[in-house]
Copies of this chain bind each other. A is one copy, B any other.
Amino acid sequence: MAAPDTGWMSSHLALVVLELVGIFVFAISGALTAIKKDFDAIGILILAEVTATGGGVIRDLIIGDTPPAAFRQVEVLLVPLIAAVVAFFAHPVVERLNFTVLLFDAAGLGLFCVTGTLKALDHGLGPVQSAALGVTTGVGGGLLRDVIARETPALVQVNTDLYAIPAMLGAAAVTVAHRLELPMSVAAPAAAAFVFAFRVVAMVRHWTAPRAWTRRSDASSKRA
Bitwise interface map of A from 122 to 166 toward B, beta carbon under 8 Å scored 1, else 0: 010110110011000000000100011010110111111001110
Which chain B residues lie closer than 8 Å to A66 at the CB level? 61-64
The count of identical subunits is 3
Task: Judge whether B67 and A63 touch: CB under 8 Å.
Answer: yes
Task: Judge whether A160 and B40 touch: CB under 8 Å.
Answer: yes
Instruction: Say if the beta carbon of A178 comes within 8 Å of chain B.
Output: no
User: Residues of A within 8 Å of B, CB-based: how many?
Assistant: 62
Instruction: Say if the beta carbon of A106 comes within 8 Å of chain B.
Output: no
Instruction: Say if the beta carbon of A5 comes within 8 Å of chain B.
Output: no
A167 to chain B minimum Cβ distance, whole angstroms, is: 10
Which chain B residues lie closer than 8 Å to A159 at the CB level? 40
Instruction: Say if the beta carbon of A179 comes within 8 Å of chain B.
Output: no
How many angstroms from the CA of A42 to the CA of B210 in the assembled complex?
9
Given A40-B208, A42-B155, 15 new contacts (CB under 8 A): A34-B156, A34-B212, A38-B158, A39-B157, A39-B158, A40-B158, A40-B210, A43-B155, A44-B212, A61-B66, A62-B67, A62-B71, A71-B132, A88-B213, A89-B213
